[in-house]
Structure 1
Amino acid sequence: METTDKIGIEQVNEAKQSSLDDPIAIFSQAISELSARQSFNLPATLRQQLRSMQTSCPICACDFSQQSSIVVAQIVPIELGGPDDFSNCFLCCERCSRKRGTSDLLSLGDAFCSPPTAPPLPSHGRALGFSPADLVQRRAELLARSANHWTPHTRNSMKSTVLRHLAKRWAEHRFRVFAHHSSDLALIGFARRSGDAESSGVARVLSKFQGAHLALVGEAESVYQVDPGRFLRLIWSIIELNALVVSVRVPGKDALAPSSEWQQFWPDHVRSVAALRSRLRPGHASNFGELARCPDASRVLSDRPDAARKRRNSAARVERNRSQRLALYHQKRVEEASQDSAYAVLEARLLSLQPS
């Protein structure tokens, strides 16, 4: 009996050790740990202030005087990168809060699916409203101060151009994706508490079209393995779907490929549009100069006819300049060789071999 127990214990230990050595299992375990709901406690004075400003639930329009359980919810959940301050809070009934979970505000019905057309303006100094339209407007303002990834614009782009690009991104439902990228391993993970199911489903379909295959399915998470060479294209496509990408480190898999350019910068995110536009890396002082700056991402090619015409003209001009430089280079080499005596002897021999 003791021998059987020892064998069973050894098998369990071997299984645990193999799971610890498997990077995909480690990645899945990290997702389950990072997916835990983050607590946010609003002080009692601010809670009373909200109670005096709201009389009904903006989601189901029920009267607060007839509700015994009222909870504090976030317009942009903390799990999706929202700030933990008073401007991100509103009151709703417990049933609506439990039904929503950590999904985006736009997933709550037609009343919340009309994002503002104008770029978001700061709400400082204005009275806070709690209608669905007011919450959607404040959502855009909060996303401007939330964790955002880089845009495909250069650092010389105007702030209005960057905001217009971000406004198109913020018009989509926000969700969360976990990712790891090293020289020989690229993983994309989705958790059950990653936002609304529709957005996560679209990201899964996009992952499959980009060559990702399902590597592990857990109780509350799923992991896809991607070709490291296709990772950046995939992760930028998911970011454009308004995903908050959470970087996950896997022990022993942190070495990036040389000359990777954006590979070592893609996990960085900032909470300021000004820093986003200047490409300053988070956590780095500005006096580092260019060492603290991220490179520009690949530009998004426009499908407009004038943009396509400009690209064709630019490509033709580049090819024409290249041909001219190549012709001048060969002409210079011929002139240098013609001044050499060995070239004259070789030319005389070639002329003597030609038939008369």
Structure 2
Amino acid sequence: MNEAKQSSLDDPIANFSQAISERSARQSFHLPAKLREQLKSMQTSCPICACDFSQQSSIVVAQIVPIEHGGPDDFSNCFLCCERCNRRRSTSDLLSMGDAFCSPTAAPRLPPHGRAMGFSPTDLVQRRLELLARSANHWTPHTRNSMKNTVLKHLTKRWAEPRFRVFAHHSSDLALIGFGARSGDAQSLGVAKVLIKFQGASAAMMDDDVSVYQVDPGSFLTLIWSLIELNALMVPVRVPGKGALAPGSEWQDFWPDHVRSVATLRSRLRPDHPSNFGELARCPDARRVLSNKPDALRKRRNSAARVERNRSQRLALHHQKRLKDALQDGAFAVLEARLASLHDLKT
């Protein structure tokens, strides 16, 4: 019995699966009775099914952005709905609850103090954007000098898709991606699993509660970035016995940014991290967003022309050296024929 238990502890995939099961448990959320009564005075019907609360005996407090998906644990993230809708929704994003919850295209605005909270589907979706702006995992391909409104526009495009949760582990010789039973709606998880399989991942463990895929460590960061662009909330999981990567190269060092903290978005530095600024200044394998301003376009054209000019000069010097060596070795005829054929191919 002890040998079987020890073998299970030594199995990194089993440890990873167990960690997902533990973190997939429903997180309790208690709203004080005074605030609950305040919500009841502000709402008269369920925003999901539009049923009247006076004809419903079971009314529960739900969250606009579930805590499991990074939502804040406060009153602004709460609304009332019937128990049937809350059970049907589980931890899925509001955007997966039908056409009434369509995502707005405008960037989330900062909520003014004292503004009355609305509870229609449109109001809840707008508040969802405001709440996501206060949650975590906001890394973008923009540089640390980008304006805040530019970053918000990029994030708004990402938040137009339902958010789901992905568990990940990355060490020097092992890369794992996993999903729990409460990771999100079925459609979003299906798209994510198709993407993972398309990237060459293999199924390591599949059951009703946990799905684990093993990924090539070399393509792990690219896959993580693709999942984040699908609006995935990345949850790092440490596996016992697996050595961590060097400081500054661990992907989980780069995700817990908050849009409201402009200084954090610009510095990309983690608090109490031993790494230097240059090691954490840019996310690994992040795709850069280039500016379309006339000055930036002119600089890129000049840079491309300079690179091509330097390449031509290096190539000419290389051919001159080959001609000189061929004259000394007596193989000038063969080399001249090769250079002539190369010139014909270019013309």
Q: Cα gap change, 1:14/1:76 in structure 2, threshold over 3 Å: closer, same or farther?
A: same
Question: Which residue of the partner structure matches residue 6 of structure 2?
Answer: 17
Aligned to 1:105: 94
Name the CA distance, whole Å, in 2 between partners of 1:99 and 1:147: 26
Q: Work out which of the residue numbers 24, 27, 35 in structure 2 matches 1:38.
A: 27
| 8 A contact 1:262–1:295 mirrored in 2 | no
Deviates more, 1:209-218 or 1:308-317: 308-317
1:214 aligns with 2:203: yes
Unaligned runs of 5+ in 2: 333-347
CA 1:242–1:35: 2 relative to 1, 3 Å: same
Contact kept? 2:138, 2:155, Cα under 8 Å: no
Evaluate the alpha carbon distance shift between residue 246 and residue 275 of structure 1 in structure 2; reply closer, same or farther with a 3 A threshold: farther
> Residues 255-295 of structure 1, C-alpha deviation per residue, up to 9 Å, x if partnerless?
21x6x85435556313334255214334348x998269432
1:67 & 1:54 partners in 2: Cα distance?
13
- Report deviation, 1:324: 4.4
* 8 A contact 2:254–2:268 mirrored in 1: no
2-structure distance, mates of 1:309, 1:223: 47
- Seen in structure 2, the aligned counterparts of structure 1 residues 147 and 177 have a Cα distance that, compared at 3 Å, is same
**Does residue 320 of structure 1 match 2:309?**
yes
Paired letter, 1:206: L
SS in 2 for 1:188: strand
Aligned to 1:342: none
Deviations 1:160-200 (A, max 9, x none): 11111100000001000000001100000011100101111
Matches within 5 A, 1:159-238: 159-238=148-227
Contact 1:261/1:295, CA 8 A, preserved across alignment: no
The corresponding residue for 2:75 is 86
Task: Name 1:123's counterpart in structure 2.
Answer: 111
Q: Which residue of 1 aligns with 2:125?
A: 136
Larger CA Rg, structure 1 vs 2: 1
Moved more, 291-300 or 172-181: 291-300
Alpha carbons of structure 1 residues 183 and 149: separation in structure 2 relative to 1, 3 Å: farther
Offset of 1:310 from its aligned partner?
8.7
Q: Secondary structure at the match of 2:172?
A: coil
**What is the TM-score of this pair, normalised by structure 2?**
0.83
Counterpart in the other structure of 1:290: 277
Structure 1 stretches of 5 or more lacking a match?
A: 1-11, 334-346
The equivalent position to 1:299 in structure 2, one of 262, 275, 287, is 287
Aligned to 1:270: 257
- The secondary structure found in structure 2 opposite 1:290 is coil
Q: Is contact 2:269–2:277 with CA below 8 Å preserved after alignment?
A: no
The 1-side partners of 2:175 and 2:19 are apart by 15
Structure 1 residues 316 and 181: alpha-carbon distance in aligned structure 2, compared to 1, 3 A threshold: farther
Name the stretch that deviates more: 95-104 or 288-297.
288-297
Match of 2:60 among 71, 78, 88: 71
Deviation at 1:32, TM superposition (A): 0.3
How many angstroms does 1:151 deviate by? 0.4
TM-score (norm 1): 0.81
Deviation (angstroms), 1:124: 3.2
C-alpha distance after superposition, 1:277-331 (max 9, x if no partner): 214334348x9982694324532568x9x99999787545324235547879999
Q: Which runs of 4+ in 1 moved over 4 A?
A: 264-267, 306-316, 322-331
DSSP-derived class of the 2:34 partner: helix
SS in 1 for 2:61: strand
